[in-house]
Structure 1
């Protein structure tokens, strides 16, 4: 298992933004052109991109399709896409258009049969997004809470053919306060599905700390504000990942 780094491109109103704690009212715009930002990440050596349609996540249907298609046109990087994907037709359409992996979050809670069916039909191309606040899963763009734990949700999809789980600690997302290594590793140890850490990654030390848990099933990290604000050097981050 390789240790993967996925720079994040979050889409709001057709622009590349980062939210603080998942709050749509607390967004910072980093690029007017998401496609140009995708090219910059690719030029920096990253061969994977984590794209989220924030408007779609809240609306329950894709809302930034044009920006996503422009990213696909601009770069040859592998792209995993989440946000507002709630039915099989949308899953199939994005995969047909060239998305490498589709992330299902709200659907994983509310329609697990959709996730399992898609994972069976598209082996290695379906990812489950688990977003947690204080250990409990949130849905609908993080606007709705639940009583389900991240581990309980992850266990629903053991042996379902899911490629990975993206685990986001909402309380750290976009804050540069440091990734929740302990919760990520605990989830990875409880499952056989590889886990990608998201939320709060600040610097190279966070990546090193996560890489120490590769044997537990921590498969990499999503990098957001740390890249935009320059608290992580792309070359250093990729060097850590290669030697993990």
Structure 2
């Protein structure tokens, strides 16, 4: 299993939101590029970036920072947040991103989603962000009537290979992942699943690894010191 340290970028700073609330942010660094270098130095194999401004507005306002991160570190990076066109996908791929993550577009623009998966089958990831099992869109500010498991099945039929599942109610709460929903998602599809939201302890990482998930994204726990990247990597090694 891959551990993905998360760098959420808002207004050129590295922040964390609680349950996706844009009015409830904590600033952890004014230099996301330096933060990316730190995670690489500590042993990260992959980074997870989110343009929070982009997630809310659909415009890639932090792309210059994203480019600097790609130029500074050598490990692969995946990026999400406001990616709603092939042109934006290509801009990020040309900027050095390994994979791009689609969120709102997976719900609201099925033709774009199909085109993205067709053109970039190994580089396209869809993030299903859910609250009480229902998919959220537009930076988690709107809740759809689409069930997460139903969307996952539809995405697999389109040819998607990798899926991120985020439980909004767990995100930033340091209370552990929603293992029940993750098991449901795991049973609903054969795609690679990356867990996000609530990963806090070595036990959380061990449990996710034993579930044979593709990866786990860790955010607030790393920044608050509840879990170190070294501890997380050790937990995976012990399972292996």
Q: What's 1:19 paired with?
A: 17
Deviations 1:176-202 (A, max 9, x none): 111111111210110111111101111
Which runs of structure 2 are paired with 1:123-142 in the superposition (5 Å)?
123-142=121-140
Q: What's 1:234 paired with?
A: 229
- Structure 2 length-normalised TM: 0.96
CA distance in 2, matches of 1:233, 1:91: 32
Q: Tell me how many residue pairs correspond in the alignment.
A: 239
Q: What's 1:47 paired with?
A: 45
Q: What's 2:178 paired with?
A: 180
Indicate which of 165, 168, 171 corresponds to 1:170. 168
Which segments of 5 or more consecutive residues in structure 2 lack a partner in the other structure? none
CA distance in 1, matches of 2:117, 2:145: 25
CA distance in 2, matches of 1:61, 1:156: 26
- What is the root-mean-square deviation in Å for CA atoms of aligned residues? 1.1
Moved more, 94-103 or 6-15: 94-103
Deviations 1:89-117 (A, max 9, x none): 11112112211000001000011222222
Deviation at 1:163, TM superposition (A): 3.2
Which segments of 5 or more consecutive residues in structure 1 lack a partner in the other structure? none
Q: Give the secondary structure class of the aligned counterpart of 1:99.
A: coil
Q: What's 1:70 paired with?
A: 68
Deviations 1:200-234 (A, max 9, x none): 111111111111211xxx21200001111111122
CA distance in 1, matches of 2:90, 2:52: 20
- Contact 1:167/1:196 (<8 A) preserved: yes
Q: What's 1:6 paired with?
A: 4
CA distance in 2, matches of 1:227, 1:161: 33
Q: Give the secondary structure class of the aligned counterpart of 2:144.
A: coil
Q: Give the secondary structure class of the aligned counterpart of 1:109.
A: helix
Q: Could you list the structure 1 runs, at least 4 aligned residues long, displaced by more than 6 angstroms after superposition.
A: none
Q: Give the secondary structure class of the aligned counterpart of 1:77.
A: coil
